[in-house]
Amino acid sequence: MKAILVLEDGKVFVGRAFGAEGEKGGEVVFNTSMTGYQEILTDPSYKGQIVTMTYPLIGNYGVNKEDVESRRPFVEGFVVKELSKIYSNWRAERSLEEYLKENNIVGIQGIDTRRLTLHIREKGAMKAILSTQDFNLESLKKKLSTLPGLVGRDLVKEVTIKKSFTLSPAQARYKVVVADRGVKYSILRELVKNECKLIVVPADTSADEILRLKPDGILLSNGPGDPAPLSYVIKTTQKLLGKVPILGICFGHQILGLAFGGKTYKLKFGHHGANHPVKDLKSGRIYITVQNHGFCVDIDSLPKKEIKITHINLNDQTLEGMRHMRLPVFSVQFHPEAGPGPYDAKIIFKEFVKMMKDA
């Protein structure tokens, strides 16, 4: 079956459909990970985006129940060079195509993903529409013109949980409230491994409600889209500062930057992949990190007398980590839990536990 991908600037890619039939729009981005397509599909931070995999062969090890990062896939569409005709792995339960059909995710294969990636790098991430039904360019371009972008849009409300839930290890030493703005299961697993009892709460939970739970620490999770319009989340975070130790990850890092009085801006094509080098400015160590974000905290906008820069992205010198000089608060832009990716940065969770221990 034919499929078509039309970009906002008029660029057109024609290929073969796989997964579900239909039509989806969103911001088209690329991910440079070589494996981990199931974790990428189920990362809530991809809500509102059509994901292109730069690695040419996808689907060769199938899909299983263990490698999901949330309750369902959140990508708007999936773009690959070649979908593997067979899958083979002792953990595999079904094919990637079956999984996409079950979850109503439209895919396209057989296009030049290298050309698409280079185009996004040159022109920037942009709106696109992926269709297996409508192939009229004028019709698709008209639909594209009405699609909302990511800037100024609250996507967190579309991925956060509706009701709180609890996770506990056999021996729990610390109680952590996780503010769910699209949290990945791997983050929850790492905290549980570090002897943390977790109370995961919806994104709109107030500061008073969180503090009534008497946590030893608070985790501000990853999530999709633009953090700037989420005034209710920023205000809640400001009320929590100084009350208990706080760790922010990715979107949570950006929310902290805004809560400190800083500003965020949209990156040209974002950071999406499992091979981004980040330097720890204190130790000089270089971490190879997992990243998935399209917005960034402006270093120059942060109050220099209160905030210390701890990590820098070596590709483009953007902010990757910060720590408050007086309060027990720190954050990272990268994903220390991996899922998928290298485990270089898992030390971040131990630093959070130490902060709670010392508080």
Per annotation, catalytic residue among 119, 253, 293, 335: 335
Per annotation, catalytic residue among 250, 272, 276, 293: 250
Task: Give me the sign of the Cα torsion angle 317, 28, 253, 347.
Answer: negative
How far is Cα 189 from Cα 341, in angstroms, rounded to an integer? 15
Query: Under the phi-then-psi rule, with left for phi > 0, alpha for psi from -120 to 50, and beta for the rest, what region is 180?
Result: beta
Strand partners, 117: none
Are 247 and 348 in contact by the 8 Å Cβ rule? The answer is yes
The reply to whether 296 belongs to the active site is no
My answer on whether omega of the bond before 340 falls inside 30° of 0, hence cis, is yes
Which parts of 77-178 fold into alpha helices (H)? 96-102, 113-123, 137-146
The reply to whether 337 belongs to the active site is yes
Beta carbons within 10 angstroms of residue 3's beta carbon: 26
How far is Cα 207 from Cα 53, in angstroms, rounded to an integer? 39
| Token pair recorded at residue 146 | 């009405």
Widest Cα–Cα separation across the chain: 62
Residue 284, phi then psi, degrees to nearest 5: 85, 0
Strand partners, 53: 31
Catalytic residues: 250, 335, 337
